[in-house]
Amino acid sequence: MDWRDSVKAVRRAAAAGQLVIFVGSGVSANSGLPTWKEMILQIAERLPADFNSDAPFNPDTYLRIPEYLYEQDTSPNHQYYYQTIGEILSSDAPANPIDDLILDIRPHHIITTNADALLERSASLNTRLYAVVSKDADLLSKSSQHYLIKMHGDIQDPETVVVKESDYLDYEQNHPLLSTFIRSLLINHTFLFIGYSLNDYNLNLILNWIHFFRKQLKVKRRPDNFLVQTKTPSPYEVRRLESRDMTVVDLNTLPDVILRRAAIPQSLTAPYGRRLYAYLATIEDKGLFQTVLPLGTALSEALEPLKSYRRIAPADLLAAFDFGPAELVNTTLILKDPALGRRLAPVLTAPGPVRDAFSRAGITAVSAGGETTGLPPYPGDPADAELKAAYLDNRYTNLEKALADASPAAKIAGGWLLGKDVSQAVAEERKALDPADAAAFTLHTLRACLAGCPDPPGTTLSQILSAGSLEGQPGTGFVRALFTHAPEAMGMLRDRDRLEDVLKDPDPPKNQGAVAAHIAGRLFARARSAYFFILDNHLPFPASSAEAYFKYAIQGLLCLSASPYKRPWDAVDLDLASKGARPRELARWLVRYTPGEIALDDPVRGAKLYENRLAAQRAYPNLSFAPLESLGMLLARTPLPEKRRAELRDEGLTTCLAALTRSPDRAGEIFAAAKPLFASKAPVPESRRWHALLTQPAFRRMRLPGAPRIAARLEKDLKKT
């Protein structure tokens, strides 16, 4: 197998949480410890004189040498034997760079046949994730997602170290839990063997396990295993190993470019250690691996985990490949590396998965070094076009009709929005789910959980986001950030602050407008990327999460609208501001930024959205009135004919009165949406019913802000008439 294919397979296994790295003595040799053969030689030097020195010294006799020393040892409790083992294998040497790299890769488990403590001494921050297990009792007492299994014991307790022949023969009887646990990993884990020779007894023991259970259980195919070597095996060895699902990776085939760029530490002097480090580095560092692939191929493979998203988060796209310093401003991706921009241009202009991924991330142009490559705008899923339009226009009755022929994902999100039972849609989506597709599986579990129909039952949002399998899974970083509000929300906070500073500068630069537009473009790119990610991927997004995530972008909108560089608001701006902020906070921001008149790209859009929202409130009584209140505040700042404003006011008061009568338990949010409508001195529709409602003892006891003043005004108006 080509070494590049092995790297891809190992990285896939690591991403799926199904990688086990077996560490042999060839790794510890880089810290000055003996290899397995060297250890046997050192033991042989201590054998009594009657040992047959003419016996062939080969792997078949290796185990008998320590066995002979043990049998001939007449010291109490074989102290001399265990002292000998301790002297040979004990070391105060620090972990070597290969130990650190093993932990940086973060396999599901690490299994070592070494008894030393080098891996435990690693400087890698991931060391803390692994519970060290060296005997059966440890498995019972240490619960962890990740184990460092010292299957042949720990030199800190020499009596646990497996060296002599009887130790191996009795291993499964003496260590039933450890052997069972390791064998269980054979089912679905990829094993990567490093530091072993082809004739290593430990390696062949594991191979025999694999071969035995595969035959016994009649398994035709299981995950590949890889043995990393610098010695080319014979054709017979290749066939023998392949029959046991073991593929040899020849480190001699690593290209010079990898050896140069892997930054191999000078402390590694042995050829095997240096090449092994470079190989492991290509697993841990995707940027290093991508240097040996054609750009189009490297990008296609890097973006493969994002294929299940209808809309890709730019943050995930940028994290999938090493683009160098880059930023998204509005819908233009700006790269700081002109050379990369030139190499990328032909890949983006050719139809294919790379261009498709950039378009699905909402990127319409890539700019680098003054040169710009245009991309077709993302058309979206045609099946979702009416759903999206109806949602943006607040036409919820139309949205419900469109859901009849929509995908299960859309039915879950849309049904949740309208207060419908979504259990059938959750079950329907589950049936078509590919469990191996991490992104699709994550989106499904999130949808179901957020819609109040967790799948599996009892699953919580925190469990989904903290799952060990999700952490580090390619293409899932933005999903986690979306609900933890970092780092994207913090980026929006910084851009909001910078925008405020630029616009408040008492001595502004000549290019103040361009600087403000650039910062605002970056801020709005973050917000809109998240907005469309949620909308196009049909994620039910709770109001509390939206308020926490989008508040800085909404503040930036208002800040810009109060400046000479304001731009007209579109449907997305209005939707974000009305549904992504608590009304009380929005009111404070309007006072803080005093945007004055908010211009709209479509002059009639604001009124139409408010009218449609009123219709939705009447058709779906459980809808929150908070977006209606916020939309009313924004509508008050937009240019609108007075006659039209009066019509909307009257319709709003009538809608709120009906809702208050029907749902007095929600009086707080409903009255809050109605209260600003009383500001006009025009006659109040159904004023007698309003007065009767506001003066009811039960309503008075609620002590709603502004209610007594409005009731007094209505009473005065009624007396006049």
Three state DSSP letters for 326-381: EEEECCEEEECCHHHHHHHHHHHHCCCHHHHHHHHCCCCEEEECCEEEECCCCCCC
Residues of the chain below pLDDT 50: none
| Residue 133 φ then ψ, to 5° | -125, 125
* pLDDT, position 287: 82
* pLDDT, position 468: 53
* pLDDT, position 424: 95
Alpha-carbon distance of 323 to 42, in angstroms, equals 52
* pLDDT, position 470: 58
Tens digit of each residue's pLDDT (9 = 90 or more) over 158-187:
999 999 999 988 998 999 999 999 988 888
Query: How far is CA 564 from each of CA 559, 597, 683, rounded to the nearest angstrom?
Result: 10, 12, 37
* pLDDT, position 56: 61
What predicted TM-score, i.e. pTM, was given to this entire model? 0.79
* pLDDT, position 357: 96
Alpha-carbon distance of 210 to 516, in angstroms, equals 63
Tens digit of each residue's pLDDT (9 = 90 or more) over 551-576:
999 999 999 999 999 999 999 999 99
* pLDDT, position 243: 77
8 A C-beta contact, residue 7 and residue 282: yes
